[in-house]
Amino acid sequence: MSTTAPERTAAGQLPVADTPAVRRAFVRLLLSEKRRAAVAVSLHLVAAVAAAVAPLLLGEMLDRLTAGDAGAIDRLALGLVASIVLVVAFTWAGTFVSHRLGERLSARMRVQFVDRALKLPMPVVEQAGSGDLMTRSSADVPEAGVLFRDGLPQITVSVLKVVVFLAAMFIASPLLGLCMFVVVPPLVVGTRWYLKRARNGYLAEREAESAIGDTIGASADGARTTEAYRLREARDGAGDATVSRHWAAARYTLFLRSVFFPFLDGAYALPTAAVLLVGGAFYFDGTITLGTVAAAAVLTRQIMFPIDHILMWVEKVQRGFAAMSRIEGVAEAEDTGDGATSERPVDGTVDLTDVRYAYPTSPRDVLHGVTLSVPAGQRLAVVGPSGAGKSTLARLISGSDVPREGRAAIGGVDVAALPLDERRKRVTLVTQEHHVFTASLRDNLILAKADATDAALNAALAAVGADWAFDLPEGLDTPLGGKERELDAASAQQIALARIILADPDVVILDEATAMLDPRAARDTERALAAVLEGRTVIAIAHRLHTAHDADRIAVVEDGRVAELGNHDELIALDGHYAALWRAWHGDEADRGPQGAQRRRSGEQDEFATAGNAL
Ligand SMILES: Nc1ncnc2c1ncn2[C@@H]1O[C@H](COP(=O)(O)OP(=O)(O)OP(=O)(O)O)[C@@H](O)[C@H]1O
């Protein structure tokens, strides 16, 4: 069996917080509930004292009996019963309070995690892969939750019991109290051996789990591509490699446990043996009474349970802290707004100045010095062949990414320097990927504006032509998503567009946002949107010619540069790429004869994409 810890962090994953940072986070969380924590500790302390008194009373009874003093037995027996009642009552109350405390801390941690995950910059999530974030939320958050819900109360109780029982042993007999310490050297050695290896071992196990999630997710998402290019063996190989990594990591932690726990069982027998041996010798010597030896022996057994509990939790605490390192790691990648500018955009003017950009995964620039100014309220259509850099441009304008060189500004302020909330308020990027959450229509809409009234929600739906929404059986409260009411792509897109209206940004970037709609629906939605978007700056990445035709200006992007810029008529007069494209499209339409002409008259248009790719 391997005894080498697997690699701790995989490249490209979200950060993992170091031990001091995790400790600080843990203390911060605890301090947020300090009053409840104090009540829980006090209740458990009383229970532990009452539990330690019982063996002392038992020893006393034994000594009185051997001395023939039967008169005191009744009083001692009453005391014994009282201590047992106190133990039961205070343990119950302490457990109740500490579990409630644990639940509250666990809930607080979950809320904090979701909050931070939502503040992760998009490039960070993309680079890390969604599997990593998913594993952190679905495996690490519950793992750390166990630490707060069960670990913290049980460890606190156990530590209190060890301290109180040890004190009781010293009260009974300092000499026998010292016997307890024979357990310390083997425990220290064993625990140090384990702890030194466990953190990295469990971190590696978690990371391997994330990698499995990523690989399987990628294989499932790309199933068609896998079939089409006969990549099945390669994908199987990638899956096998991540499973093997996980297997090695899990085997390593199993090895650690299979050495540590049997070792502990052996160590526990030592103090009882020492107490009986030393106590027996001094009893025959006459220096220690039989009752004292009996009380010390009972306390030695009693003290082993909480020690065992603590050590049992060492493993889970390791797991919990490893999970917390990954949860806290998200905070390190979060967009905290530190260093954000206090300047605010004066209007919705978009300015790109000599912007160059390369994706982190490739050294090659995909934008080569783009300079473009879009006055507030103007509508710019961006057209160009696939891979020209249109979506990259959109990401830079939205502040999701920062130019490698040059500047992307809104209303005179660097957009990426704006605090996240402000940026989200000012600029909205709508892509063709729309998510409908399994929740009511209302919940799906108020994501964009938490305090929107029903009238505002209905107005937004009407503006994007989502008439189907008014026929829903429970109106805005109708549950969407899931199997019962799965929305088609067009309706999902309308919800996304209605969210823009509610969010009310200065700048809207439509990245092929109406691509999923059939041509007539797209045109209807875009017409409706045009009215709603009036007054805002709109950057529409277009693959349908009518979108470009209707815009105030058109930028033709080619190979990461703005090749042409002007309105429809100017670009036709320029007789460049756009004009060629327009002619190709017209010719295409004419070639279709009366049917094509009829379709154009009725407002239906052909996809831009095919012609666009020819640019
Ligand atoms: N996440 C990424 N990592 C690395 N390279 C990328 C990434 N996204 C895009 N690229 C590359 O950047 C270049 C510009 O891509 P971009 O998506 O901006 O083009 P586009 O004009 O929007 O294309 P399309 O119309 O097909 O969406 C392409 O060469 C593409 O391969």
Per-residue pLDDT tens for 253-302?
Answer: 999 989 988 888 888 889 989 999 999 999 888 888 999 999 998 898 88
CA of 560 to the centre of ligand 1 (A): 10
Ligand 1 contact, 384 CB (< 6 A)? yes
Ligand 1 mutation target, pool 125, 126, 370, 390, most atoms within 8 A of CB: 390
Residue 435 reports pLDDT greater than 80: no
Ligand 1 contact, 138 CB (< 6 A)? no
Instruction: Please name the residues in contact with 35: beta carbons below 8 A apart, sequence gap of 6 or more.
Output: none
More confident residue, 336 or 345: 345
Cα–Cα distance measured from residue 303 to residue 274, given in angstroms and rounded to the nearest whole number: 14
Ligand 1 contact, 395 CB (< 6 A)? no
Residue 603 reports pLDDT greater than 60: no
What does the pLDDT read at residue 523?
A: 67
For the chain, report the end-to-end CA distance as a whole number of angstroms.
60
Buried b (16+ CB within 10 A) or exposed e, 529-544: beebbeebbbbbbbbb
Residue 524 reports pLDDT greater than 70: no
The phi-psi region of residue 520 (left if phi > 0; otherwise alpha if psi is between -120 and 50; otherwise beta) is alpha
Which atom of ligand 1 is nearest the CA belonging to 543? Answer: 25
What tokens were used for 215? 């690989």
What does pTM read for this prediction?
A: 0.62
In the predicted model, what is the mean pLDDT of residues 324-334?
Answer: 84
User: Of 551, 534, 531, 529, nearest to 542 (Cα)?
Assistant: 551
Q: What is the DSSP string of 181-204?
A: GGGHHHHHHHHHHHHHHHHHHHHH
Q: At what angle do helices 489-503 and 454-463 cross, to 10 degrees?
A: 120
Average pLDDT, the chain: 83
Ligand 1 mutation target, pool 391, 397, 607, most atoms within 8 A of CB: 391
> Of 230-234, 242-246, 454-458, which gets the smallest average pLDDT?
230-234
Which atom of ligand 1 is nearest the CA belonging to 541? Answer: 22
Range picked from 245-249, 411-415, 500-504, 609-613 for highest mean pLDDT: 245-249
In the predicted model, what is the mean pLDDT of residues 414-436?
Answer: 81
What does the pLDDT read at residue 347?
A: 86
> Of 49-53, 312-316, 318-322, 395-399, which gets the smallest average pLDDT?
312-316
How many CA within 13 A on the CB side of residue 261?
12
Confidence of residue 398 (pLDDT cuts 50, 70, 90): confident
Q: What is the DSSP string of 209-258?
A: HHHHHHHHHHHHHTHHHHHHTT-HHHHHHHHHHHHHHHHHHHHHHHHHHH
Residue 597 reports pLDDT greater than 80: no
Cα–Cα distance measured from residue 239 to residue 544, given in angstroms and rounded to the nearest whole number: 40
User: Of 491, 437, 444, nearest to 468 (Cα)?
Assistant: 491
Confidence of residue 609 (pLDDT cuts 50, 70, 90): very low
Ligand 1 mutation target, pool 361, 368, 386, most atoms within 8 A of CB: 386
In the predicted model, what is the mean pLDDT of residues 590-606?
Answer: 39
CA of 386 to the centre of ligand 1 (A): 8
For 103, other C-beta atoms within 10 Å of its C-beta total: 13
Angle ∠(382,425,470) on CA atoms, nearest 5: 85
Which atom of ligand 1 is nearest the CA belonging to 384? Answer: 21
In the predicted model, what is the mean pLDDT of residues 518-526?
Answer: 66
Confidence of residue 406 (pLDDT cuts 50, 70, 90): very high
Smallest CA separation from ligand 1 atom 16, residue: 389
CA of 264 to the centre of ligand 1 (A): 57
Cα–Cα distance measured from residue 612 to residue 595, given in angstroms and rounded to the nearest whole number: 22
What tokens were used for 544? 């349908």
How many CA within 13 A on the CB side of residue 299?
38
What does the pLDDT read at residue 82?
A: 94
Ligand 1 contact, 386 CB (< 6 A)? yes
Ligand 1 contact, 360 CB (< 6 A)? no
What does the pLDDT read at residue 343?
A: 79
Cα–Cα distance measured from residue 8 to residue 10, given in angstroms and rounded to the nearest whole number: 7
More confident residue, 601 or 12: 12
Per-residue pLDDT tens for 542-590?
Answer: 877 777 888 899 999 999 999 999 999 999 999 888 888 888 776 654 4
Cα–Cα distance measured from residue 187 to residue 184, given in angstroms and rounded to the nearest whole number: 5
What does the pLDDT read at residue 522?
A: 66
Residue 506 reports pLDDT greater than 80: yes
Cβ–Cβ under 8 Å, residues 140 and 327? yes
CA of 586 to the centre of ligand 1 (A): 28
What does the pLDDT read at residue 2?
A: 39
Q: Is the dihedral of CA 510, 513, 515, 520 positive or negative?
A: negative
Smallest CA separation from ligand 1 atom 14, residue: 389
Ligand 1 contact, 612 CB (< 6 A)? no
CA of 387 to the centre of ligand 1 (A): 5
Buried b (16+ CB within 10 A) or exposed e, 55-93: bbbbbbbbbbeeeeeeeeeeebeebbeebeebbeebbeb
Ligand 1 mutation target, pool 357, 359, 539, most atoms within 8 A of CB: 359
Smallest CA separation from ligand 1 atom 31, residue: 387
What does the pLDDT read at residue 189?
A: 92
What does the pLDDT read at residue 525?
A: 66
Helix (H) or strand (E) holding 151: none
Cα–Cα distance measured from residue 520 to residue 514, given in angstroms and rounded to the nearest whole number: 11
CA of 393 to the centre of ligand 1 (A): 10
Cα–Cα distance measured from residue 383 to residue 554, given in angstroms and rounded to the nearest whole number: 7
What does the pLDDT read at residue 593?
A: 39
What does the pLDDT read at residue 373?
A: 92
What domains, with CATH codes, occur in the chain? Answer: 19-333 (1.20.1560.10), 350-609 (3.40.50.300)
What does the pLDDT read at residue 256?
A: 92
How many CA within 13 A on the CB side of residue 136?
27
More confident residue, 33 or 522: 33
Q: What is the DSSP string of 54-94?
A: HHHHHHHHHHHHHTT-GGGHHHHHHHHHHHHHHHHHHHHHH
Residue 186 reports pLDDT greater than 60: yes
> Of 113-127, 142-156, 399-413, 564-578, which gets the smallest average pLDDT?
113-127
